[in-house]
Amino acid sequence: MERARRTLLTALAAVVVAVAATALAWYRLGPTTRGTVWAEDGGVFLRERLAYGEAGSLFRPYAGYLHLLPRLVVDLGFRRPVEDYAVTVSAASCLIVGVVAAAVFLLARDVVPAWPLRVVLAAVPVVLPIAPYEVGGNAANLHWYMLLLVPWLFSYRARTWWGSAAVAALALGAVLTEPQTLFFAPLLVLAWWRGRARLLALPVTVVTVLAGAVQVVSALTDTRISRPGHPTVADVVHGYLLQPLAGAWTWDLSSVATAVVHHGWGVLVWPLVAIAVVLVAAVVLGQWRARVLVAALAAGSVVVWTAALVANESADLRWGELPVTDFTASAPLRYAAAAAMLLVSAVVVAASVLIDRRNWSVRVPARGSRAAGRTAGRVGTVVAAVVGWAAIAVVVAAAVSSVAPGNTRRDDGPLWAPQITAQLEVCRADPAGSVEVRTAPWGATLPCSVLLDRR
């Protein structure tokens, strides 16, 4: 009976997290952004859904890999009344981020046992300051959120076959949406390590291997549109400081670059040093699973950013070659979002280790002065807790200061629904024709049959 009650409470908590995260992601977009179609959502994804149907477009590679979740979201939007396409895609995208938040809340229980801290961890993809600017609320950028989810999916030790199946299903969607999720595949070792029911890790492992193989084949056989970059070490480091690191705490990256111009790189280097201290302390003190997760999230942040610059020439703005004054008008890059989310997640996990002594692997020395050892232990516990709570306070403060709807790449429209209404008369006069509907930043060509049949 007690086990059933705990299961019910856990399920209810996850639902609350999912609903709250979805609602907050939706709110942060603002009404104009929610009603505007973004990039591939009105471009290649919608165009190929019209041309090839659901079955023909769902597993069709684009830019070198598969995009399962964005294709599903676009298909859902296509099935709704055409004037509701923009808000349907935005809502479905926010819902998926809400599911990611709820999944992290559940899966991180072994590493972050305190539920208030897990709420902070689960909120990271929703409250990240730079998220709404480009990656929030659209299907084209859902793949970045998969990079935050998979470390928890791959490392989770399932207790039941139902839980194992759920983790495998989520992993299937994640890996078939973003090939970079394979960077975290070594974390599957944690799912197998020293568990009483190791075979419960088999479904997620099989799914990851098979889905990863499909993505690798797609990458080898499909043509990428983006030209690869050739970043220097300075490009990677300076870009990381100005984008993922700064974007983890504020959405106004131009002001950060301006601060660097006036006060030097210490504006960003010293916060990075403080973060490193928190991360290293958690790795030294924490139990082994927490150590691995902190290291994986922090390293993953750097790897994902570096991979973006190597794979996309457009991501490398010559960060290390040009003077910082050239970046005082910079906006958040979509490539920075995943790296920033991973970095903040690493900080929250590390802080949770420092706050709760029960998560430490370090014990009071058995030899020597027991009184001195206990005193040192108490002092160390207090200092670690203060550092941990300070880190959490910074994360929460950054989230609160950025929670209101702000600048996005869609906040100037063009709104989708009024254009559809305006084109109806054109289509009634020529039902066999087509019309142009503007999106941000491109446009979409819709057959009049779609406008007339899906109202």
pLDDT value at 364 more than 60: no
For the chain, the first-to-last Cα distance in angstroms comes to 50
Please tell me whether residues 289 and 423 are part of one structural domain. Answer: no
Quick: pLDDT tens for 393-411.
Answer: 999 999 999 998 988 999 9
For the segment 62-72, what is each residue's pLDDT rounded down to a tens digit? 999 999 999 99
Residues 233-252 have a mean pLDDT of 96
Global pTM?
0.95
Are 369 and 346 in a shared domain? yes
Residue 235 shares a structural domain with residue 345: yes
355 is a domain residue: yes
Instruction: Please give the structure tokens belonging to residue 204.
Output: 């997620």
Distance CA(275)–CA(277), nearest Å, equals 5
What separation in angstroms does the CA of 387 have from each of 189, 253, 271, 351?
Answer: 30, 26, 13, 7
Distances (CA, A) of 317 to 301, 325, 374, 376: 19, 13, 53, 49
Helix %, strand %, coil % of the chain (to 5):
75, 5, 25
| Burial degree of 12 (CB within 10 A; 0-12, 13-18, 19+) | exposed
**392 and 304, same domain (yes or no):** yes
Name the band, by pLDDT with cuts 50, 70 and 90, for residue 237.
very high
> Any long-range contacts for 311-317 (C-beta under 8 Å, 24+ apart)?
311/224, 311/226, 311/228, 311/229, 312/226, 312/227, 312/228, 312/229, 313/226, 313/227, 313/228, 313/229, 313/230, 314/226, 314/229, 315/229, 315/239, 316/229, 316/230, 316/231, 316/235, 316/239, 317/239
Residue 223 lies in a domain: no
> Does 390 share its domain with 242?
yes
DSSP-derived secondary structure letter, 440: B
**Is 247 a residue whose pLDDT tops 70?**
yes
Q: Is the pLDDT of residue 328 over 60?
A: yes
Cα–Cα distance, 279 to 275 (Å, whole number): 6
Tokens 């969607």 appear where? 173
pLDDT of residue 365: 55
Tens digit of each residue's pLDDT (9 = 90 or more) over 94-146: 999 999 999 999 999 999 999 999 999 999 999 999 999 999 999 999 999 99
Quick one: angle between helices 202-221 and 161-175, nearest 10?
Answer: 10
User: Is a pLDDT exceeding 70 seen at residue 178?
Assistant: yes
How many whole angstroms separate alpha carbon 282 and alpha carbon 172? 31
Q: What is the pLDDT of residue 359?
A: 80
Same domain, 305 and 438: no
Give a yes or no: residue 289 inside a domain: yes
**Pair (258, 376) in one structural domain:** yes
pLDDT band per the 50, 70, 90 thresholds, residue 27 = very high
Is 54 within a domain?
no
As a whole number, mean pLDDT of residues 236-261 equals: 96
**Mean pLDDT across the chain:** 93
**Sequence-separated contacts (24+) of 212-217 with Cβ below 8 Å:** 212/175, 212/179, 212/181, 212/182, 212/185, 214/66, 214/176, 215/65, 215/66, 215/175, 215/176, 215/179, 215/182, 216/179, 216/182
- Residue 117 is assigned to a structural domain of this protein: no
The SS3 call for residue 65 is strand
- Residue by residue, DSSP assigns 123-141 as HHHHH-TTHHHHTTT-GGG
Whether residue 277 lies inside any domain: the answer is yes
- The band of 39, judged by pLDDT with boundaries at 50, 70 and 90, is very high
Strands (E) across 42-111 are located at none
Enter the DSSP assignment of 153.
H
Mean pLDDT in residue range 19-43: 97
Give the total residue count for the chain. Answer: 455
Q: Is the pLDDT of residue 4 over 80?
A: no
440: which strand partners?
38
Mark whether 379 and 436 lie in a shared domain: no
Which of 235, 210, 110 is CA-nearest to residue 163?
A: 110
Residue 227 CB contacts under 8 Å (≥ 6 apart), including other chains: 312, 313
The answer to the question of residue 373 being in a domain is yes
Of 110, 112, 211, 202, the closest CA to residue 164 belongs to 202
Provide mean pLDDT across the span 11-35. Answer: 97
What letter does residue 314 receive in the DSSP assignment?
G
Cα 308 to Cα 397: distance, rounded to the nearest angstrom: 28
> Domain range spanning residue 434?
416-453
257 and 398 assigned to the same domain: yes
| pLDDT tens sequence across 432-444 | 999 999 999 999 9
* CA separation for the pair 110, 152 (Å, rounded): 10
pLDDT recorded at residue 23: 98
Residue 19 within any structural domain of the chain: no
Element at 447 (helix H, strand E): strand 443-447
Q: How many domains does the chain have?
A: 2
Q: In the numeric block, which tokens belong to residue 436?
A: 């142009």
Measured from the Cβ of residue 274, the count of other Cβ atoms closer than 10 Å reads 15
Same domain? For 389 and 434 the reply is: no
Same domain, 440 and 377: no
Is the pLDDT confidence value at 370 over 80? no
Q: Is 250 left (phi over 0), alpha (psi -120 to 50) or beta?
A: beta
pLDDT tens by residue, 268-319: 999 999 999 999 999 999 999 999 999 999 999 999 999 999 999 989 899 9
Asked if residue 425 and residue 406 are part of one domain, the reply reads no
| CA angle, 302 then 121 then 19, to 5° | 125
Averaged pLDDT, 414-432:
95
Give the burial string for 160-197 (b: 16+ CB within 10 Å, else e).
eeeebebbbebbbbbbbbbbbbbbbeebbebbeeeeee
Q: What's the distance, CA 313 to chain centroid?
A: 22
